[in-house]
Structure 1
Amino acid sequence: MTKLLSCRYNMDTNRVEARFADGTTLAIDCIAVEDEYGHTPTQRAELDWLLYNKPLEYAQMVLRGEMGQYLSLGCEHGRLED
């Protein structure tokens, strides 16, 4: 694939829609990603945070196969405050 130019989260389809420099478009099924990587409430919250705040980074991690490693680092962007 060529360079990833843009992404946006489509709430109606629950997909991240990615556009590449060569004109290719790709839709990432967020339910499938959550089923694969969202084993805990904290991981699911982090996936949601990424979707809403950083869809480009979300798509890059999914496409590179880095989502599991990212979540294993214990990121807390989506953590609920007490």
Structure 2
Amino acid sequence: MNKLLSCRYNMDTNRVEARFANGSAVAIDCSAIEDEYGNTPAQRSELDWLRYNKPLEYTQLVLSGEIEHYLSLGCEHGRPKD
């Protein structure tokens, strides 16, 4: 896989846009990811948190196929504080 150079969340399209060292780009449809992997409110909240705060990590998890495993470990970031 090419080196991932940058990522940003585009609120207008609800996509995380990623650029690679070879000049290629990809746009990840966050609605599709949420529909596929956001089975609980906590998981959906975690996905929201990731795309807004850590789009690079979000992209790496999606492209590597590790997003489901990550969410199965527990959702810490998107959980509302008591």
Shorter-normalised TM range: over 0.9
- TM-score norm. by structure 2 comes to 0.97
Ranges in structure 1 where 5+ consecutive residues have no aligned partner: none
Partner of 1:4: 4
2:28 aligned counterpart, secondary structure: strand
Identity %: 77
Which 4+ residue blocks in structure 1 deviate beyond 3 angstroms?
Answer: none
In structure 1, give the amino acid aligned to 2:16: V
1:7 aligned counterpart, secondary structure: strand
- TM-score norm. by structure 1 comes to 0.97
Distance 2:61 2:78 in 1: 17
RMSD (Å), alpha carbons: 0.6
| Count of aligned pairs between the two proteins | 82
Partner of 2:71: 71
Partner of 1:37: 37
